[in-house]
Structure 1
């Protein structure tokens, strides 16, 4: 199953709302980890966004999944870039 690298971009204007919705966002993420859909995720140290690594059949399925993220639902993500990624070495390589 393909792996996708998803980059979220955040702005300073959404900090307070992200803090409010972070518990629900992380609960959503934890369920995806449990199911094997989400391989890893975490914010960038400068607060500008986050990187999430997903397994998904295709980009369309991933887009539908990302729309259910509480951060997306609340309009707290300024931009999303999702690209298929092909690891050849390391922890995520076949």
Structure 2
């Protein structure tokens, strides 16, 4: 498995508020499926970050692009493959 850092920069504050419950439910579903290892908002209000675990860039893109925030234009979406170095998460 590979890791992908997905930046979700703020595009529309009002839409972000509107779609927040759907976004959080979507992330919770993927987290339970083992497809997300971490996520959170930036405290300065500029957006957030999700770390996906996926077999390929295309798979990670499909997760990110189906996020309600992205689907409804509340947030942008910037994906980067990420080489995680950590003792916290087990290696696959």
State the TM-score, normalizing by the size of structure 1.
0.87
Q: How many pairs does the alignment contain?
A: 91
**Which residue of structure 2 aligns with residue 87 of structure 1?**
84
State the TM-score, normalizing by the size of structure 2.
0.89
Query: Structure 2: how far apart are the matches of 1:82 and 1:92?
Result: 21
Residue number among 73, 80, 90 corresponding to 2:71 in the alignment: 73
- SS of the residue 2:50 aligns to: strand
Output the aligned Cα RMSD.
Answer: 1.3
**Which residue of structure 1 aligns with residue 42 of structure 2?**
44
Cα distance change of structure 1 residues 93 and 82 upon mapping to structure 2, 3 Å threshold: farther
Runs of 4+ in structure 1 off by over 6 angstroms are: none
Q: Any unmatched runs of 5+ in structure 1? A: none
